[in-house]
Structure 1
Amino acid sequence: MIIYIVRRIINYLILTAVASSLAYMLASTGLNPVWQFENRHPRPPQSSIDQLLNNWGVNPHVPLIERTWTWFTNIFRGDLGLTVGNQPVLQQIGIRAGVSLQLLLVGAILGAILGVVLGVWGAVRQYKASDQIVTLASYVVFATPVFVMAILFMIVATYLNQALGFQLITFSGQYSASTPPDFWSQFGDRISHATLPTLVLAIAGAASYSRYQRSTMLDVLGADYIRTARSKGRTRGSALVRHGVRIALIPMSTFFAYSFGTLVAGSAMLEIVFSWHGMGELAIQSIQQNDINAVAGSTLFVAILILCSSTLSEILYAALDPRVRR
């Protein structure tokens, strides 16, 4: 089993290297870092522009293959280049990755748990009123863009704060600058700011996970081993929990792991709406600013996150299915 996981990690590392290199080449081809200098009055001297482009490693006069190779080899020294603001890309990723993961970890885990519970509940009570309500609510969430849902929640929170007469929920930024420095005040302020974006992520994730979990659970309910467990004296609930849910979670573990890896890209609009300065916002701003190094660095971060998610998927699959361990 260990050899199998190591082999998969090596494969993922190769795919990560290929994906990040292609992202750098695509960004170098499609983005024009000289654009920001062309609109300045007066326009800087060409020698100054070339010096900046050389410092960033994105001078279009240097062959693309040479630039890509230089960028790729610098990765092993922990150097992802400079942004157009002359900030180290790795430093920016380190700051913003922590912000994004604070938001994504809790939201993704809550969404997965809620989705699994709703999916199992809907499968067990197939076509009953509760199943129909969950199905309808899931489709409504599917049809609603994440940023629209975020704005609706902000409106509801505003009315709630007005009704209570004090600021219970804050939804702009990660924290308030005027919060007292003691631990509990800081903790409560962070919870207040994280409530709405976490809730939006959890609801959006639960709608997706519940549909997949319901489908896999329905396949399990008619399996022979469930009937065998019942014939041996197990109650219906015990047979479903011990044998049904565990088997139904096997494909869900893979789906959850890969979904978490792509949440950074999917939460970009959510970070902008709630003013969370995370990786999603960095990716959008880097494209707007024609920042090649930041785009490539963001892609590398997402690729590494998917690598970790894929490895987690393999471990969860092995934990749930003994056949893989053998």
Structure 2
Amino acid sequence: MARYAIRRLIQSFFLILGVTIITFFIQRVAPGGPAMFFEDPKMKPADIRAIEESFGLHEPWHIQYGKWVWGVARFDFGRSFIDGRPAVEKIAERMPATFQLSLASFLLGLLGIPLGIYAAMRRGSWADNVIRVLTVAGNAVPHWWLGLMILIISASTIKIFPLGGMYTLGADSLPDRLWHLALPATIGAMGGWITFARFMRSEILEVISQDYIRTAFAKGLTRQTVLTRHALRNALIPVVTILGGSLSGFFSGAVLFEQTFSWPGMGRLAIQAAFQRDYPVLMAETVIFALLIILGNLIADLAYGLVDPRVKIE
């Protein structure tokens, strides 16, 4: 297990390094730069060069990359082209909002686990068929589009949920924040419901077809005992492999939901930075989101070997 953990850590390091290389070179070939925010018809080429030198853009690309990676290692992603503030400072301001939305969506998404268990234990029933149809249909519909449609319907007819934002101006309270969180978190949780329900159903059905389950029934154990003590416990183990990746996926998926619901988080900041060509902020967001995804998958891989002692990872 220790050797596997070390190997996965090394792989994760090279993955992050690859992300930084790709991110840096995409920024190099993209149009724009800090000078474009100060340019006017009277600006001379020397003035533009002075602005670029202040951001270190006059140096060779390998020196720029080395300095940037060294800064990334110290969580120094440079300064915003827009206002000159440190990129990590702007992201830190938006991070709590993203964590709030992502965590709420993840926790609501866990409801897909009992939904999948219910469908598996009633295989072939109308409830199982309804759950299967809903998961397939939900997987086919873009969740951001569904969220936009629900937002339009809510604004035009139902008028129950707010149109966006984290809170109502002048009425910042816990109930008000939960009211604003309800709709985006529910739409964001749909991916979890679909993934966990389908995965849990298939795992339960696979486990109950094993010989040891039939042996347990042959010994006279009740259906409830067999399902809860044997089938369910063993079926839940593989779920660990998708929990870590799903949690990081909720963070990266927040980009679309934050823009749809005007949620002032990291995702909305990333889109604003892309449109404004604020590359230091955009590059910082890319690295942070990639780090979350890689870290989530790493934790899931390591946790699988810990929760199931039968597994020997080589």
Among 173, 181, 192, which residue is 2:165 paired with? Answer: 173
Letter in 1 for 2:15: L
Name the SS for the 1:322 alignment partner. coil
Among 194, 217, 225, which residue is 1:238 paired with? Answer: 225
For 1:183, the equivalent position in structure 2 comes to: none
For 2:280, the equivalent position in structure 1 comes to: 293
Q: Residue 77 of structure 2 contacts residue 280 of structure 2 at CA under 8 Å; is this kept in 1?
A: yes
Give the distance between the partners of 1:229 and 1:56, measured in 2 at CA: 70
Q: Residue 246 of structure 1 contacts residue 320 of structure 1 at CA under 8 Å; is this kept in 2?
A: no
For 2:24, the equivalent position in structure 1 comes to: 24
For 2:54, the equivalent position in structure 1 comes to: 55
For 2:148, the equivalent position in structure 1 comes to: 151
Offset from partner CA, 1:247-273 (integer Å, 9 cap, x none): 223332222211222333323221111
> Residue 100 in 1 paired to residue 87 in 2?
no
Cα 1:43–1:273 change in 2 (3 A) is farther
For 2:68, the equivalent position in structure 1 comes to: 71
Give the distance between the partners of 1:157 and 1:52, measured in 2 at CA: 48
Query: CA offset at residue 4 of structure 1?
Result: 4.7
Give the distance between the partners of 2:14 and 2:45, measured in 1 at CA: 39
Q: Residue 318 of structure 1 contacts residue 325 of structure 1 at CA under 8 Å; is this kept in 2?
A: yes
Query: CA offset at residue 220 of structure 1?
Result: 1.3
Query: CA offset at residue 319 of structure 1?
Result: 4.3
For 1:282, the equivalent position in structure 2 comes to: 269
Cα 1:242–1:26 change in 2 (3 A) is farther
Letter in 2 for 1:64: W
Letter in 2 for 1:107: S
> Residue 15 in 1 paired to residue 2 in 2?
no
% identity of equivalent residues: 29
Normalization by structure 2: what TM-score?
Answer: 0.88
Return 5+ residue gaps in structure 1 as ranges.
162-167, 181-185
Cα 1:239–1:48 change in 2 (3 A) is farther
Offset from partner CA, 1:282-323 (integer Å, 9 cap, x none): 222222222222222112111221233124313531343112
* Superposed counterparts of 1:302-321, under 5 Å: 302-321=289-308
Return 5+ residue gaps in structure 2 as ranges.
none
For 1:133, the equivalent position in structure 2 comes to: 130
Q: Residue 32 of structure 2 contacts residue 277 of structure 2 at CA under 8 Å; is this kept in 1?
A: yes
* Superposed counterparts of 1:76-225, under 5 Å: 76-85=73-82, 86-111=84-109, 113-158=110-155, 159-161=157-159, 169-179=161-171, 186-225=173-212
Cα 1:143–1:314 change in 2 (3 A) is closer
